[in-house]
Chain A
Amino acid sequence: MIQYLSIALMLVGIYGLLSQRNMIKLIVSLNIFEIGLNIFIVSIGFVKDGLAPILTSNHNSSALLYVDPLPQAMVLTAIVIGVGITALALALARKLYKTHGTYELDEMEGE
């Protein structure tokens, strides 16, 4: 179920990119898309009845059933990349706002 929802979230993000003209909203759409994607990736690592992939004094053996740690690592990377891009996008949006006085892409002058 969570996988279906994550795909739906990705689609919502794409819909946002298709319909929005405001820079901030576009960035938000992009983030929604990325979050959906991240949840999807985590979900492909899920194993039914699996434990969180950390050895502790309670779950102390690798013979127990754990969920797949690799997608989680991938998601961590993807999140950090997303942060970087969002920061950059916001900086661009702010710079553009300063020159054009608007966040609406359609209202900006020039080509």
Chain B
Amino acid sequence: MGISIGVGTIIVGLLISAVLAYVLTKINKTTGAWVTVLAPFLALAAVFLLRDSIGTTYSLFFLEFELTEYGWFFSMIMLLVFACVSFFNVYWMKKMVHPAAYNMLYLLALTGTLGAFMAKDFIGLFIFWEMIVWSSMFIIPFGKSRKASVVYYAFSALGSLAMLYGIFYLYNAFGSFNIQEVLKLAATDTTAALVAFITIGIAGMVKLGVFPFHLWLPRAHGNAPDTFSPILSGGLVKAGGFAVFLIAVVMPSYEAFATQLQFMGVSITSYIFILFGAVSIVVGTLMAIKQDDFKKLIAYSSVANAGYIIIGLAMTDALSVGGAFMHIFAHALASAAAFLAVAAVSHRTGTTKMSELGGLIHRMPLTYLVYLIAIISMAGIPPMAGFISKWMLFQSMIDNGMVFVATAAFFGSIGSFLYVFRPLSAVFLGQLSPKHYKVKKAPVLMMIPMIILSGLTVLFGIFPNIVLRIVSRIQTSVGMEGLQFDGTKIIGSNGSLDPTLIVVIFGIGFMIALVIFLLHPKSRKVELMDTYTASEFIYTPELLHYSHSFYAPFERLYKNAPDTSKWYKAILKKVSEIGGFVSYAFFSSKPRIVVFWIVIAMVALLWGGSV
């Protein structure tokens, strides 16, 4: 065939496959689901092959695309996540009320992300950005909650309309929609840069789920269909990182705000963003600790991790941006893997509530391992990819002397041990609930993506330079200093990191622990219900559950903490009240009341006109 593969062909191909998936699912559900598996893989291969043609522009009808270094990087992450997750779709077809619509929207969401990453102008970016929003917005209510979808849309709309304001503001100021061009120009004009930074920044923060826009994450991630939660958390959220990257780095915010008050090495505007990041680390961590629902817990952990990403991007030095990129990548892999493990558990047991699960390590050992690797990476423990990124971020924070932020980040890291351990122990360790005696292993097809994701997490934990060299090239491509390497070492400003060495040390430590474990006498295995108290048997497994009131002391500590969702609810309540008042006062069925308002309005207008 004479068609050369380009971004246009990929987008069109995905759109066609979305329609194809819809039609095929109508005919046969499984066939349709396989389309959603094949399409991302083909796209992944195609985008991978486009590595050499970075910098080329493509056009598709009226849309223009440009393959940039960072666009390629983000697209690869996204496609990887989609490709892996889509294996699960096959198993979920029977559970859906609208399977055909699900498959179509799933691929449309993928198209949206790719289009947004590769768009050359802002109009394209916005169109695809909104495509992500509405395709996922229709998928979320297929899960447990309709409200979640509305909450998701409300925040997304806030973000994307803020972005639209920024786009048109910039167009009005510079007469162009071209992303690169406009952002370069904006850097020379502090006001325009500020507007762009705030508006597009809000869009990014909303997508990332940074405080105070984090509320949609637990609701949407927690209630979306199990197969879509990994997409949301591992994939779509990262589009927010893309938006923040645009305004922080592609538009060199350090140059644009050079005249502003500088604070800890960054401008005050950037510092405010960093502070939001710090707050969301703390909030995300604290909230994650108290969740009972497995999926909500990971969702809150995503909030915390979004905080790291935005801090890294807003600090705009080589190490921090590199760290943020690495973190985007690592967290995408880890959270997708974690959510997939949840999905696998949910597929076999039908629940994601931790208090109803337990002891699944005996039934689903491989799932347990995948989850373990994922949470180790999320918590930033070597030798996983998550450790590398966190190390880079901490390095940078300390360089800049950001004590408060660094404290928050450390708090988040320690907190993450608490919350990742809880599901681990509650779901996989402990005793098996009697309901789940007959649970089988996760199906083979589900294992494939989980193993791929875990494998990559470990691989890039040991050899992070594979990714970091790409990141370094991205940094030089947007005109900033790139990361420095020395063999397998990553050079920081006050120290360097050799991941391979760390792995070796960790490997030795692990061996010693294993030996001790093997030599130690085995404990006796006890069934959950094999107990009695006051000479009575107990029949409620929940009360005996390992994770029952797991962190009760902690929870008591912050019981009275302010609840952000209350603020939004209060705003909406006010809106509703005003609406009710308007309806009551102005839209009366009594002519004299309306005449009264008409006369008042006329007097006001006549008076206003004569002023």
A-contact bits for B572-611, CB 8 A (1 contact / 0 none) = 0000000000000000011110011001000000000000
- Cα–Cα distance between A19 and B591 once the two chains are bound (Å): 10
Complex: chain A residue closest to B602, CB-CB: A14
- Cβ of A26 and Cβ of B590 under 8 Å apart? no
Chain A, 9-64, CB within 8 A of any chain B CB: 14, 17-21, 26
Residues of chain A with a CB closer than 8 A to B589's CB? 111
The complex places the Cα of A17 from the Cα of B589 at a distance, in Å, of 14
**Which residue on A lies nearest to B593, using beta carbons?**
A18
- Chain A residues with Cβ below 8 Å from B592 are 17-21
Please tell me which one of the listed residues A18, A105, A106 contacts residue B595 in the complex, with CB atoms under 8 A apart.
A18
The residue in chain A whose Cβ has the minimal distance to the Cβ of B595 is: A17
Kindly list chain B residues whose C-beta atoms are within 8 Å of the C-beta of A26.
Answer: 591
Inter-chain CA distance A26–B589, complex, in Å, is 14
Roughly how many angstroms separate A19 CA and B592 CA in the complex, as a whole number? Answer: 6
Q: Flag if A17 contacts B590 (CB, 8 Å).
A: no
The closest CB in chain B to the CB of A17 belongs to B595
B599 touches A105 (CB 8 A): no
Could you tell me the distance between the alpha carbons of A14 and B595 in the complex, rounded to whole angstroms?
A: 8
Smallest Cβ-Cβ distance to B589: which chain A residue: A111
The answer to whether B590 and A18 have CB atoms under 8 Å apart is no
Residues of chain B within 8 A (CB-CB) of A18 are 592, 595-596, 599
Assembled-state Cα–Cα distance A26/B591 (Å): 9
With A and B bound together, what is the CA distance between A14 and B592 in angstroms? 10
A20 to chain B: which residues have CB within 8 Å? 592
Considering the complex, give the chain B residue whose CB is closest to the CB of A26: B591
CA distance A18 to B589 in the complex (A): 14
From A14, which residue of chain B is reached at the shortest CB distance?
A: B599
Q: Which residues of A contact B595 (CB under 8 A)?
A: 14, 17-18
In B151-205, which residues have CB < 8 Å from any A CB? none
Interface positions of B from 518 to 546, Cβ below 8 Å from A:
none
CA distance A21 to B590 in the complex (A): 8
The docked-state distance in angstroms from the alpha carbon of A14 to that of B385 is 77
- Most chain B CB within 10 A, of A17, A20, A111, is at A17
Contact B599 A106 (CB under 8 A): no
Q: How far is the CA of A37 from the CA of B590 in the complex (A)?
A: 24
How far apart sit A106 and B592, CA to CA, in the bound complex (Å)?
11
Considering the chains assembled together, what is the distance between the CA atoms of A105 and B593 in angstroms? 12
Give the residue among B589, B590, B595, B599 with the most A Cβ atoms within 10 A: B595
A111 to B590: give the CA distance in the assembly, Å: 10
Cβ–Cβ < 8 Å partners of B591 in chain A = 17, 26, 105
- Report the minimal beta-carbon distance from B205 to chain A, rounded to whole angstroms: 45
1/0 contact trace for A68-111 toward B, CB 8 Å? Answer: 00000000000000000000000000000000000001100001
**A18, A20, A21: which has the most chain B beta carbons within 10 Å?**
A18
Shortest beta-carbon distance from B597 to chain A in Å: 10
Would you give the shortest CB distance from B243 to chain A, in whole angstroms?
A: 48
In the complex, residue of chain B having the shortest beta-carbon distance to the beta carbon of A23:
B591
- Of chain A, the residue at the smallest CB distance from B596 is A18
CB neighbours of A21 from chain B (8 A) = 590, 592
CA distance A20 to B596 in the complex (A): 12
Residues of B close to A19: CB separation below 8 A: 592
A46 to B589, CA, bound (A): 40
Cβ–Cβ contact A106 & B590, under 8 A: yes
Bound-state Cα–Cα, A7 to B596, Å: 18
Docked CA distance A44–B550 (Å): 87
A34 CB to nearest B CB, Å: 15
Q: How far is the CB of A28 from chain B (nearest CB, A)?
A: 13
Q: What residues of chain B lie closer than 8 Å to A105, measured between beta carbons?
A: 590-591
Complex CA–CA separation, A26 to B599 (angstroms): 16
* B599 CB contacts on chain A under 8 angstroms: 14, 18
> Closest B-chain residue to A105, C-beta based?
B590
Residue of A whose beta carbon sits closest to that of B590: A105
User: B436: shortest Cβ distance to chain A, in Å?
Assistant: 56
In the assembled complex, the CB of B256 is this many whole angstroms from the nearest CB of chain A, namely 57
Q: What CA separation (Å) do A17 and B592 show in the bound complex?
A: 6
Chain B residues within 8 Å of A106, by CB: 590
| Closest chain B CB from A19 CB (angstroms) | 7
Q: List 6 A-B contacts (CB under 8 A).
A: A18-B595, A18-B599, A19-B592, A20-B592, A21-B592, A105-B590
* Residues of chain B whose beta carbon lies under 8 Å from any beta carbon of chain A: 589-592, 595-596, 599
Excluding A17-B595, A18-B592, A106-B590, 13 further A-B contacts by CB distance (< 8 Å) are A14-B595, A14-B599, A17-B591, A17-B592, A18-B595, A18-B596, A18-B599, A19-B592, A20-B592, A21-B592, A26-B591, A105-B590, A111-B589
The 10 closest A-B pairs by CB, nearest first: A17-B595, A18-B595, A18-B592, A18-B596, A105-B590, A26-B591, A111-B589, A17-B592, A17-B591, A14-B599
